[in-house]
Amino acid sequence: MMLPIFSVGREVTIETTESPLSHGSCTPTSTPFNNGPECTSTPVPPLENDSQSTDGASQGNDSHSTDALVPETTPKKGRKRKKNEGKWKKNVRKANRNLGKSYKQSSKKQKDKIRPERQLKSACGKKCRYKCSEIITDEERKALFQEYWNLGDVERQRDYLAHCMSDVTPKCEYRRIKVNGSEESEVISTRKPNTAYSFMKEGTKVRVCKLFFEKTLDINPRPINTVKNKRDKVAGVLQEKDLRGKHGKHKKLDQTIIDGIKQHIESIPKIESHYTRAKTSKLFIDGSKTITDIHRDYVSKCETEGKPYANYQCSLFYFILKI
Task: Please give the full DSSP string across 234-273, using - where no structure is assigned.
Answer: TT-SB-S---TT-SS------HHHHHHHHHHHHTS-EE--
Residues 96 and 128 in one domain: no
Structural domain tally of the chain?
Answer: 4
C-beta neighbour count of 224 within 10 angstroms: 19
Confirm whether 213 is domain-assigned.
yes
Confirm whether 131 is domain-assigned.
yes
Model confidence, pTM? 0.55
User: Hey, what amino acid is at 218?
Assistant: D
166-189: pLDDT as tens digits = 989 887 777 777 767 666 676 666
Residues 145 and 198 in one domain: yes
102-123: pLDDT as tens digits = 998 887 777 778 999 999 999 9
Confirm whether 277 is domain-assigned.
yes
* Average pLDDT, rounded, for the chain: 76
Check: CB of residue 286 under 8 Å from CB of residue 271: yes
Residue numbers of the domain that contains 172: 119-230
The pLDDT of residue 312 is above 80 = no
